[in-house]
């Protein structure tokens, strides 16, 4: 720790030396270009010494870590058939009565900090080769040192990985890093999308060579300051990724209190080894939240279905490459699906198609119309029945797959309400069910509600047939809900 702090201090001093070679306030001194170039060379040489030390550390015997099986989805006992609301509830005439419920807040909309990535200039000339990367309907061009593509691992031991890592360092891949980062910004990729792009790139450089793909991907992630490591799982190399969020059904190891999920062979069991020390400054978890919808390729297609409630066909625009992107998303926390940014054309089509259903209606009637639509117009089917495993939907996926279940409907309902009215909303998560709650700022709505940060959120269940605003099945009235805020 002291040596790393020493490195940081020295780097800071060198940067100040470059920017402010003299602090004489009486008269600024003109610094010769030769001086600046010499200092740049010295800084890069110092950085190289840090990398060299890490390479030497990679050569040391790696430590075995216990490999844990991925956690199962929490919602694994949902009703096989679509539930109905208790008819006795309506006989109690409590829709006009306030019923305050208990809750525990477990998630909210995240503000994700954009990574600030420095791209140093390499010393000397490096011949580059452009690779064409297929990426969800697009063809991306990324430059990479030509000589590196011919470098392969001679084995998967510590010394072989360290030798390959050193060859990558010597090849000055900074232009590749800068090229990848430009693509990230152009496509509005979040951290996971960026990781996915790097994996696509590594697979293009090293087709059918999983070990080289793993090391190159981790090398690039480390260069971009992400917290990733190379692991050896029996007879192959894998990527160990710190996401900062819980992933389900993905094996992992724990290092210094952080979970590193195994990518490259997510379900494989065996003996896993990796190094104890991380690359300097490679400490940024890969954030799973989507604060922007990725700008992927492909044309938009209208997903249509006949609506008896609307009296006409509903047509919502869906992007096929975005559906493919979502299908490759690792199963993660419900809040990430609920708060994901909507694709612009999709949000506009929601506004266009659903606005006529609620036009001119007061808040409670408008919400009841949307609840009735969700309960009647979508086919209910559990994920296990439809996919053979649990799967949370991003909002757009509700109009892509033939059926959905409770958490998917709750997310879709909350987001439609936000698009149409701008209301704050929340998800109510129980052991075997997910419903929604909505804050109506300009009108009181009776029934079951939650007081969240001084705001009244009234229960809305888009899955239980017959449920209106304020309804809650008797099964959940005495249970504490986990609350996920999905406010604007």
Distance CA 344, CA 485 (A): 22
Same domain, 149 and 104: no
Averaged pLDDT for residues 303-320: 86
Q: SS3 for 387?
A: helix
Same domain, 101 and 193: no
Which residues in 429-441 are b (16+ Cβ under 10 Å) and which e?
bbeebbbbbbbbe
Contact between 445 and 468 under an 8 Å Cβ cutoff? The reply is no
Contact between 46 and 257 under an 8 Å Cβ cutoff? The reply is no
Q: Is residue 39 part of a domain?
A: yes
Nearest to 316 by CA among 284, 288, 343: 343
Higher pLDDT: 150 or 260? It is 260
Give the DSSP letter of residue 203: H
Same domain, 303 and 265: no
Q: Which helix (H) or strand (E) holds 99?
A: strand 98-100
Averaged pLDDT for residues 408-420: 97
pLDDT at 54: 79
Nearest to 120 by CA among 39, 52, 24, 201: 39
Q: Is residue 205 part of a domain?
A: yes
pLDDT > 70? residue 119: no
Same domain, 265 and 337: no
Question: Sorting pLDDT into bands at 50, 70 and 90, what band is 14?
Answer: very low
Question: Sorting pLDDT into bands at 50, 70 and 90, what band is 269?
Answer: confident
pLDDT at 487: 74
Same domain, 298 and 404: yes
Pick the last residue of a domain from 242, 274, 306. 274
Q: Which residues, in sequence order, are bridge partners of residue 485? A: 426
Lowest-confidence region among 88-102, 422-436, 466-480: 88-102
Question: Sorting pLDDT into bands at 50, 70 and 90, what band is 105?
Answer: low
Top mean-pLDDT range of 23-32, 74-83, 152-161, 478-487: 152-161
Averaged pLDDT for residues 362-383: 95
Question: Sorting pLDDT into bands at 50, 70 and 90, what band is 103?
Answer: low
pLDDT > 60? residue 245: yes
pLDDT > 50? residue 438: yes
Averaged pLDDT for residues 297-309: 83
How many structural domains compose the chain?
3
Residue 363 tokens, joined: 């808040």
pLDDT > 50? residue 21: no
Domain holding 33, by residue range, is 2-58
Question: Sorting pLDDT into bands at 50, 70 and 90, what band is 221?
Answer: very high
pLDDT at 289: 96
Residue 185 tokens, joined: 């910004």
Percentage of the chain beyond pLDDT 70 is 80
Residue 259 tokens, joined: 């979970």
Q: Is residue 280 part of a domain?
A: no
Same domain, 214 and 311: no
Q: Is residue 89 part of a domain?
A: no
Q: SS3 for 418?
A: helix
Same domain, 424 and 356: yes
Question: Sorting pLDDT into bands at 50, 70 and 90, what band is 9?
Answer: very low
Same domain, 131 and 107: no
Distance CA 17, CA 35 (A): 10
Residue 50 tokens, joined: 């840090």
Provide the terminal-to-terminal Cα distance of the chain, rounded to the nearest Å: 41
Q: pTM for the full model?
A: 0.84
Distance CA 78, CA 387 (A): 14
Q: Which helix (H) or strand (E) holds 236?
A: strand 236-241
Positive or negative, the CA dihedral 296, 115, 113, 198 is positive
pLDDT at 76: 67
Residue 105 tokens, joined: 């807040």
Distance CA 309, CA 227 (A): 50
pLDDT at 33: 58
User: What does the angle CA 300 – CA 303 – CA 307 come to, to the nearest 5 degrees?
Assistant: 150
pLDDT at 35: 43
Q: Is residue 208 part of a domain?
A: yes
In whole numbers, what is the pLDDT of the chain averaged over residues? 84
Distance CA 321, CA 188 (A): 14
Q: What does 464-476 look like in DSSP terms, one character per residue? A: SBT--TT---GGG
Residue 483 tokens, joined: 């609350």
Cα 414 to chain centroid, rounded:
20
Contact between 274 and 65 under an 8 Å Cβ cutoff? The reply is yes
User: What does the angle CA 448 – CA 454 – CA 458 come to, to the nearest 5 degrees?
Assistant: 20
Which residues in 88-97 are b (16+ Cβ under 10 Å) and which e?
ebeeeeebee
Higher pLDDT: 170 or 408? It is 408
325-364 confidence digits (pLDDT tens): 999 999 999 999 999 999 999 999 999 999 999 999 999 9
**Which domain CATH number covers 462?**
3.10.620
Check residue 95 and give left, alpha or beta (phi > 0: left; psi -120 to 50: alpha).
alpha
Same domain, 316 and 406: yes
Question: Sorting pLDDT into bands at 50, 70 and 90, what band is 102?
Answer: low
Q: Which helix (H) or strand (E) holds 176?
A: helix 174-186
Percentage of the chain beyond pLDDT 90 is 61
Nearest to 122 by CA among 199, 176, 62: 176
Distance CA 454, CA 381 (A): 36
Q: Is residue 288 part of a domain?
A: no
Same domain, 107 and 136: no
Positive or negative, the CA dihedral 182, 187, 189, 193 is negative
pLDDT at 86: 78
Averaged pLDDT for residues 455-468: 95
Same domain, 149 and 265: yes
Same domain, 262 and 172: yes
HSE at residue 287, side-chain half, CA atoms within 13 A, is 17
Q: Is residue 74 part of a domain?
A: no
Q: Is residue 285 part of a domain?
A: no
């Amino acid at each position: 720790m002291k040596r790393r702090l020493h490195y940081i201090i020295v780097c800071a001093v060198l940067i100040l030396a470059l920017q402010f070679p003299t602090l004489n306030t009486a008269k600024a001194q003109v610094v010769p270009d030769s001086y600046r170039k010499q200092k740049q060379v010295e800084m890069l040489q110092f950085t190289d010494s840090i990398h060299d030390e890490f390479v030497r550390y990679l050569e040391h015997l790696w430590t075995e870590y216990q490999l844990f099986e991925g956690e199962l989805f929490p919602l694994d006992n949902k009703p096989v058939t679509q539930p109905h609301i208790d008819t006795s509830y309506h006989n109690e005439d409590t829709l006009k009565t306030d019923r305050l419920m208990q809750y525990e807040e477990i998630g909210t909309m995240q503000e994700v900090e954009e990574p600030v990535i420095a791209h140093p200039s390499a010393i000397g000339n490096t011949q580059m080769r452009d690779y064409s990367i297929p990426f969800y309907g697009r063809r991306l061009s990324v430059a990479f040192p030509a000589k590196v593509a011919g470098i392969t691992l001679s084995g998967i031991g510590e010394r072989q990985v360290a030798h390959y890592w050193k060859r990558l360092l010597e090849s000055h891949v900074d232009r590749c890093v800068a090229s990848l980062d430009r693509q990230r910004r152009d496509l509005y990729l979040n951290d996971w999308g960026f990781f996915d792009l790097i994996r696509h790139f590594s697979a293009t450089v090293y087709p059918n060579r999983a070990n080289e793909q793993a090391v190159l991907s981790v090398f690039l992630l480390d260069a971009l300051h992400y917290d990733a490591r190379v692991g050896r799982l029996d007879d192959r190399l894998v990527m160990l990724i710190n996401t900062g969020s819980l992933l389900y059904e993905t094996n992992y190891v724990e290092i210094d209190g952080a979970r590193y999920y195994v990518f490259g062979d997510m379900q494989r069991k065996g003996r896993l080894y990796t190094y104890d020390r991380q690359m300097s400054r490679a400490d940024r978890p890969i954030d799973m939240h989507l604060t922007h919808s990725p700008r992927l390729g492909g044309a938009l297609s209208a997903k249509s279905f006949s609506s008896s409630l609307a009296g006409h066909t509903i047509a919502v625009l869906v992007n096929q490459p975005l559906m493919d992107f979502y299908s490759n998303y690792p199963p993660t926390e419900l809040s990430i699906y609920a708060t994901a940014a909507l694709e612009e054309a999709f949000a506009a089509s929601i506004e266009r198609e659903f606005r006529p259903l609620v036009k001119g209606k007061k808040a409670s009637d408008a919400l009841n119309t949307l609840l009735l639509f969700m309960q009647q117009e979508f086919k209910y089917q559990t994920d296990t029945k439809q996919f053979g495993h649990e799967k949370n939907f991003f909002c757009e996926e509700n109009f892509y797959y033939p059926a959905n279940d409770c958490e998917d409907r709750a997310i879709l309902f909350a987001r439609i309400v936000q698009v149409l009215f701008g209301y704050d909303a929340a998800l109510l998560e129980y052991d075997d069910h997910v419903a929604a709650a909505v804050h109506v700022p300009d009108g009181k709505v009776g029934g079951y509600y939650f007081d969240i940060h001084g705001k009244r959120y009234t229960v809305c269940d888009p899955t239980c047939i017959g449920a209106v605003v304020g309804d809650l099945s008797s099964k959940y009235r005495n249970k504490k809900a986990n609350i996920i805020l999905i406010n604007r």
